[in-house]
Amino acid sequence: MQQTLKNDRYLKALLNEPVDCTPVWMMRQAGRYLPEYRELRAQAGDFMSLCKNPELACEVTLQPLRRFDLDAAILFSDILTIPDALGLGLYFTPGEGPCFERPIKSFDDIKKLAVFDPEQELGYVMNAVRTIRKALAGSVPLIGFSGSPWTLATYMIEGGSSKAFTKIKKMLYSDPKALHLLLDTLADCVIVYLNAQIKAGAQSVMIFDTWGGVLSKKAYLEFSLPYMQKIVSELIKINENRKVPTTLFTKNGGQWLEHIAQTGCDAVGVDWTTDLDVAKSKVGTRVALQGNMDPSVLYAPKEIIEEEVQRLLAQYGEGSGHVFNLGHGIHLDVNPEHAKHFIDAVHIYSKPYHMK
């Protein structure tokens, strides 16, 4: 699927190569803050029906690119496709989010899990990647993604979303052997899943460690980071004669940036609780940085959004190695016009930082 990319500044920035301005995309840029998305979801019936239909997943992926001057598209899917493929029975309850019919409760449950064939159990994802790549026609790169083993395990053991994470932390401290077996199995699943996405056409991949920040440093370095490092080491590095960059993002993980940067990843995502200049001082040019505007800034008047964009650009300073993004996903009730203003402001105000 060799294509000439018309806009490759996102991939270049991830590899610390010179760009004309700072690239920008938004986590959850394809989704429910857009009225056209809500309309399509209503037609499809539910969220998973969108995910499992390659043509509809492609349409949702392209919707924000029609509105905004984004530098990357991200596959429309969900991090919980892996637990679903492992037979846990994923379903979504209105107002409560994802749930599992058969959550992990014991060592025996974990021993029954086996790495799947992503082209079989998750073939709809690969078909979506292929469909999106064809539709993009080389306009911008396509990002593939997965949840981290720790984050996937939290949902699989808790049975859905959680605030206290008591069930998985109980296993962590009372039966660490069982949890390590689960995390190792999930790491193997993520490896085959992301490599299949790359083969299908994803030009960069991102691992979302959404709940890594609920761990202590000791627990993070034992139960989350090593499994992401294992994944990074076994991912396809070059495809279509081009490097495939990997970004790791641990929400609330700014205190562990040096450790994350040592995994072999190409970029580290930063949320709004860590200043970009502090992050840059910790990792240097070893990795690129992605982030980190608080998504709630998009509720502000447009002039405040511009001021925040300028402040964060100044924090990072001159040169490449920065992908501008929100520090987490865009909120569902944000005005799309504010998102457009944010994206345009990044391109306009970042140009002076790339003059040399």
Give me the domains of the chain, ranges plus CATH numbers: 9-354 (3.20.20.210)
Q: Which of 8, 71, 78, 84 is catalytic?
A: 78
pLDDT score recorded for residue 112: 96
Could you confirm whether 242 is annotated as catalytic? no
pLDDT digit string (tens) for 127-153? 999 999 999 999 999 999 999 999 999
pLDDT score recorded for residue 252: 97
Mean pLDDT score of the chain: 96
DSSP letter for 160, please.
Answer: B
pLDDT score recorded for residue 193: 98
pLDDT score recorded for residue 97: 83
pLDDT digit string (tens) for 296-333? 999 999 999 999 999 999 999 999 999 999 999 999 99
Could you confirm whether 311 is annotated as catalytic? no
Q: Any known ligand binding at 13?
A: no
Could you confirm whether 32 is annotated as catalytic? yes
CA distance 269 to 264: 14
Q: Any known ligand binding at 71?
A: no
DSSP string, 218-264: HHHHHHTHHHHHHHHHHS--EETTEE--EEEEETT-GGGHHHHHTTS
Per-residue pLDDT band at 94 (split at 50, 70, 90):
confident
pLDDT score recorded for residue 2: 60
Could you confirm whether 102 is annotated as catalytic? no
Could you confirm whether 66 is annotated as catalytic? no
Per-residue pLDDT band at 4 (split at 50, 70, 90):
confident
Region 188-204 average pLDDT:
98
CA distance 286 to 73: 25
Per-residue pLDDT band at 169 (split at 50, 70, 90):
very high
Q: Which of 10, 33, 155, 220 is catalytic?
A: 155
Region 87-95 average pLDDT:
86
Q: Any known ligand binding at 200?
A: no
pLDDT score recorded for residue 356: 72
Region 89-116 average pLDDT:
91
Q: Any known ligand binding at 242?
A: no
Q: Any known ligand binding at 78?
A: yes
- Name 159's Cβ contacts closer than 8 Å, sequence gap at least 6: 99, 100, 103, 167
